[in-house]
């Protein structure tokens, strides 16, 4: 009986230790993919057939909020130790992307910037590039995540 108790305590200790060392790579990979998909979906929503300038700008503002929420969810995840830096960088890039999109929408609402909306072929944000650089680093480390799409 004493041997069984010692064995059970050892198993419990191993399970507790395993849970304290961060997330598994598979769990973290799922979180990164889910977050990437949320951000990409928010970007898609911006360009998916807005009916007017106001509709486009409203979509941009709503997408900025959705991107910030996705960044917050990823920030709450526990990354494996060897991927903590990439997690921090990706969260930072997503947050900045949300800020950039929201700021662009607010600026484009100003009458003096109206011509930019009407004649624009698209918008480009360095934060989008940064997010894709970090996603590339994660792919190089074995995380099977696609880059953000162009929208």
Q: In this predicted model, what pLDDT tens digit does every residue of 89-101 receive, in sequence order?
A: 999 999 999 999 9
Q: Which has the closest alpha carbon to 106: 67, 61, 151?
A: 61
With pLDDT > 90 as the criterion, what percentage of the chain qualifies?
A: 69
Residue pair 74/32 in contact (Cβ under 8 Å)? The answer is: yes
* Residues 35-70: tens digit of each pLDDT: 999 999 999 999 898 999 899 999 999 999 999 999
What are the structure tokens assigned to 59, written together? 């979509």
Q: Is the pTM of this model over 0.85?
A: no
* Residues 133-142: tens digit of each pLDDT: 999 999 999 9
Judged against a pLDDT cut of 50, whether residue 26 lies above it is answered with: yes
Domain ranges of the chain: 23-140
Confidence at 1, pLDDT banded by 50, 70, 90: low
What are the structure tokens assigned to 131, written together? 């997010």
Judged against a pLDDT cut of 90, whether residue 111 lies above it is answered with: no
Mean pLDDT, residues 5-23 taken together: 47
What pLDDT was estimated at residue 115? 59
User: Which stretches of the chain are DSSP H helices?
Assistant: 2-20, 25-47, 53-76, 84-108, 114-118, 126-140
Judged against a pLDDT cut of 60, whether residue 12 lies above it is answered with: no
Confidence at 3, pLDDT banded by 50, 70, 90: low
What pLDDT was estimated at residue 19? 46
């Amino acid at each position: 009986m004493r041997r069984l108790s010692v064995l059970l305590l050892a198993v419990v200790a191993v399970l507790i230790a395993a849970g304290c060392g961060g997330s598994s790579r598979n769990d973290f990979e799922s979180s990164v993919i889910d977050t990437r998909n949320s951000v990409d979906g928010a970007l898609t929503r911006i360009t998916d057939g807005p009916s007017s300038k106001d509709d486009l700008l409203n979509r941009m503002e709503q997408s900025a909020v959705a991107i910030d929420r996705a960044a917050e969810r990823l920030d709450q995840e526990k990354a494996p130790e060897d991927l903590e830096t990439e997690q921090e960088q990706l969260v930072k890039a997503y947050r900045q992307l949300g800020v950039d999109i929201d700021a662009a929408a607010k600026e484009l609402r100003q009458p003096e910037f109206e011509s930019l909306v009407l004649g624009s072929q698209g918008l480009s944000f360095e934060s989008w590039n940064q997010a894709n650089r970090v996603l590339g680093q994660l792919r190089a480390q074995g995380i099977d995540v696609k880059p953000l799409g162009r929208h």
